[in-house]
A and B are shown apart, each in its own frame.
Chain A
Amino acid sequence: MSVTEMFSYIQGFLTADQDIREDIRKVVQTLEQTAREVLTILQSVHQPSGFKDIPSKCLKARELFCTVQTQIGELKTKFPVEQYYRFHEHWRFVLQRLTFLAAFVVYLESESLVTREEVAKILGIEVDREKGFHLDLEDYLAGILIMASELSRLAVNSVTAGDYGRPLRISDFINKLDSGFRLLNLKNDPLRKRYDGLKYDVKKIEEVVYDLSIRGLAKEQEAGGDK
C-alpha cells in the first residue's frame, strides 16, 4: 500500500467519524432543549406559589421525559452501540443534566434518592454496558451532585415560603448523601471536583436548619407534623 493510498484511507475514516459526530451533535441539541424545558417546569417549585402543586409539576415533567425517551432512542441509532465511549463526551453533559432532573422529580415525589436503575428507566436506557446505551456510573453520580446543590437552594426557598419542615428533611437527606459519597475513592477528575462542592451545600442547609432551630420554628412545625 502506497503512502498516498494509506492516507486517503485514513482520510476516509476521519470524514466518516466526523459525519457521525455531526449527527450525534444534532440529536444532543434537541435533547438539551427538552432538558431545559423540564428544568423550567421544575424551577417553579422555588416560587412560593409553586410549593402548593409540586405533584402536578412532577407529572408535567414526567410527561416531558417521554419526549426524552424518544430522543435518546434516536441518539442510539446514530452510532454503533459498542462504541459508546468513543462519542461519550458529546452526551455526557446532557445525560448528567437529565439524571439530575430525573433525580429531582423523584425526590420531590417521594423524598428519596433515585436509584441508577430508576434513572435508566425514566430515560429509557440501560444500566449495564452490555445491554446497550447505558448510564455511566460517574454520570449518574454527577447528576446526583447537581441535585444536591439544587436542594440546598430549595431549603432556603422553602423557608421563605413558610415551609419549615422541608429543610429538616432535606438536611437529613443530604447528610445521607454526603456519607454515601464519603465511601467513594474518587480520583482527581471532574466528578471529584464536583463532589468537593457538596460540602458547601451541606453547610448551607445546616445553616438553614440552625436558623430555624434557634428560633424554635423547626420544633413547632415538627410537633404539628407529628400529631
Chain B
Amino acid sequence: MSKREGNGCARKRKTESAQKTEECVNKSSPVIEAFKMFQQELDTKHDKYERLVKLSRDITIESKRTIFLLHRVTSVPNVEEVLNEADARLDTVRQKIGHISEELGEEDLYQFHKAFMSGIQEYVEAVSFHHFIRHRTLISLEEINACLVFMRDEKMETKVCGRGMWPGACVLTFQVTPTDYLLGVADLTGELMRMCISSVGNGDVDTPFELSNFLRQIHDGFSYIGNVGPYEVSKKLHTLRQSLSKVEDACYTLRVRGSEIPKHMLADVFSNRAAVLEEDD
C-alpha cells in the first residue's frame, strides 16, 4: 500500500507509465487475467467482422459488374447469351454468400448484419434484375433464399440449388432479411429506369411500356408499405418516384410522337431526350 502511495503522489507522466507497466507485468491480478480474456474475445469478434466486410465488398463489386453486363441486353442480338453469362457471375457471388454463412456458422445473423448488409442488397438488386429480364416478373424473397442453400463440405463447391437437400450432409442456408430484400428491390427500380431509357434509344418501343407497368406496380407496393418500414425505405421511395416519372415521361413521348415519326427515326428523338433526362438525375 505504501509503495502505491509513493507512486500516486508523483504526477509526472514517466512514473505514471512506469507504474502501469509494472502492473501489466503483475500477471497474477485477476483483473488483468479477466481483461486478457476480453481482449481475445473482442479480437475474435472484430476479425470476423472484418472478414465479413471484405466478403461484402467482393459481393458488391461482382454484383455491380453483373448489372452492367445485364444492361447490355438492350443492344445485343443474343439476349440468352448475356443472361447465361450473368448467371455464371451470379453463381460466383452466391459462393461468396456461402462463405458468409459459413463464417457466421452458429452466430447470430443480426450481430454482424451491418458488415454484409450492403453486399446482400446489391446481390438482391442484381439477381432481381436478372430475373426480371428473363421472366418479366418480380423475384420473390423465397426464390432468392432458395438459391442460397449451400453444402458445408468440399469447400462450398457443391451448391444445391433447387435440388432439395441431401440427407446426412451439413446444409448451410443464408436468409436474406425482408428489409434487405425491400431495399434491394428499391435499387432495382433505378436499373429498370436506365434500361427503359436505353431500350428506347435502341428503337425498342415495347419494353418501355412493359417497364413502366412493372415500375408502377412496385411503386404501388412501396406506397402500400409507406412508413411502416425502416427509415431507409422512405428515402428510397423518393428516388423511386423520380425514376417512375422519368419512365412515364418516356412512355408519354413514345405514344405522342410515335404516331408522327417513322420508326427508324425514333432512336434519334430519344437519344436526345434521354440525354436531357440523365441530366436531371
Chain A contact residues, CB within 8 Å of chain B: 1-4, 6-11, 13-15, 18, 82-86, 88, 113, 115-116, 129-130, 137-138, 141, 168, 171-172, 175-187, 206-207, 209-210, 213-214, 218-219, 222, 226
Q: Are A213 and B8 in contact (CB under 8 A)?
A: yes
Report the minimal beta-carbon distance from B2 to chain A, rounded to whole angstroms: 7
Q: Which residue of B lies closest to A172 (CB)?
A: B4
Bitwise interface map of B from 2 to 34 toward A, beta carbon under 8 Å scored 1, else 0: 101100110100001001100110000111101
Enumerate 26 A-B pairs (CB-CB under 8 Å) in ascending A order.
Answer: A2-B217, A7-B225, A8-B224, A11-B225, A83-B108, A83-B110, A84-B111, A85-B109, A88-B111, A113-B31, A137-B45, A168-B8, A176-B31, A178-B20, A179-B23, A179-B32, A180-B35, A181-B35, A183-B32, A183-B36, A184-B38, A185-B42, A185-B43, A185-B46, A214-B9, A218-B8
In the complex, which residues of chain B have a beta carbon less than 8 angstroms from the beta carbon of A210?
Answer: 8-9, 11
Count contacts on B: residues with CB < 8 A to the other chain: 51
In the complex, which residues of chain A have a beta carbon less than 8 angstroms from the beta carbon of B225?
Answer: 7, 10-11, 14
Chain B contact residues, CB within 8 Å of chain A: 1-2, 4-5, 8-9, 11, 16, 19-20, 23-24, 29-32, 34-36, 38-39, 41-43, 45-46, 106, 108-111, 113, 137-138, 140-142, 178-179, 181-182, 214, 217-218, 220-222, 224-225, 228-229
In the complex, which residues of chain A have a beta carbon less than 8 angstroms from the beta carbon of B24?
Answer: 179, 182-183
Q: Are A10 and B20 in contact (CB under 8 A)?
A: no
Q: Which residue of B lies closest to A208 (CB)?
A: B8
A177 with B46, Cβ < 8 A, contacts A1-B140, A10-B182, A213-B5 known: no
